[in-house]
Structure 1
Amino acid sequence: MIRFISTLLLPTIVLLLSGCGGKDETAYSGKIYTPTDKIATAFQYTQVPRPCRVFAETLAMLPANQSGKDIQNLVFKEAGAKGADLVLIGQSRKMEDDVESQFIYYGPEQEYLCAENWDGWKYGYDEWEDQGEWVNIGLSEWGNKTVFFEDPLMMQVAFLRCR
């Protein structure tokens, strides 16, 4: 009898406990390509070459006291480790609390052609709306070692594969 109950009960307990942890959005679960260190940047989806596919949509949380070059390096390091050869940069906002460099992943469930199916920055709204002032990180700031950001930032980023 005890053996029967444990055989029936143990899988149920494991199933229930596995649902308690919730989804770890910092853990990337999508497709990973061969790592690369050759990464291009686009600031508007219309700049993305036609064959490029979005395979990761993320909010990058970046620590305080970083230059534009530091921010580029942090994003490129993460993107390159996943095999992105292009990053699409969205908006940035100040964060109240300083953080270690972290990327919160939201999908997509399946990669898609950016030129045909880009639907904008529609993920992570709960985290995004709680942030502070807007911060401009565009062509003049991105990769610029003389531009300095004193506050921690949250940035919208998409990783793309174009090969």
Structure 2
Amino acid sequence: MDLSVFKNALSAVLVALCGVVGCTNGLPPEPPRTLQIQQTWELKPGDTLAGHRIIGGLGDISIALSGDKTLYAPLDGRLQPHSPDCVIFSSEELPIYLFRLCGVQNPHWGQIRSREKLGTANILNLAVLNRLSDGKWAFVEPSKQIIEQMLQPPNTAFMPTP
């Protein structure tokens, strides 16, 4: 087989593979971020129970989204892997807080500007964690305003819920 024919065939296969599995979001650019959480529970996101993956837990809120809903960065920040089903969003604008988002599909890893796409989700399990003085993280109540910013497209006028 001619080498140029082989290269063309290989290129066609790679292009087709990118179309099927996607090339831009692929594998995360870094290893999963680990967190030492102050509260510990027997079951947590990422665990398996009777053959089923746990995607939420105590400290999370679950939001049923209509279809494949796009999620947006509420601030300039960074999206990192955390567990097979969860990602971590952090921002230097709120350095003592982390957002653990479970159920995110097609995540956009790395640095993200405010209102850019984080990924999509059908069901979003969200937890907000606050950094304590001992370096551990504790669950805190999430801000409705921040969650609404994650769910509303950037060109939509932000109307806080009363």
TM-score norm. by structure 1 comes to 0.32
TM-score norm. by structure 2 comes to 0.32
Select the structure that is richer in strand: 2
Higher RCO by CA contacts (8 Å cutoff, separation 6 or greater)? 1
Select the structure that is richer in helix: 1
